[in-house]
Structure 1
């Protein structure tokens, strides 16, 4: 199961809202499930999935079709 907490359920100071300028970076994304779920729920956010270079081809395959999702290798 995957749980992503709705930002509206949290109190941020200053206030936080997902918008076209929001950037989310998932470090060590693995298959990218959490970041892709976030991208699906917030299509205007930019999501960057990162992992070791040998995992990036899997991430690229999984991210195909998601607008605003990038895959970057970690060193």
Structure 2
């Protein structure tokens, strides 16, 4: 994917939150490519590759998940 941005998020593995966040983001098919990139200790990391056209919607979804889960954005690359 040319011209993609990367959004990295960290989410707790407790109570299946990592799995839930991964499944929610993958359910929006075509919005982002989601990869689990690490699961150190109690936290997991997801890497989302997004296009300029889908980035605003993906950020909206992630920010909504921040309010519901123990999840935070750790990096947004342009």
Same fold (TM over 0.5): no
Of structures 1 and 2, the larger Rg is shown by 1
Q: TM-score, normalising length from structure 2?
A: 0.33
Higher relative contact order (CA 8 A, sep 6+): 2
Instruction: Select the structure that is richer in strand.
Output: 2
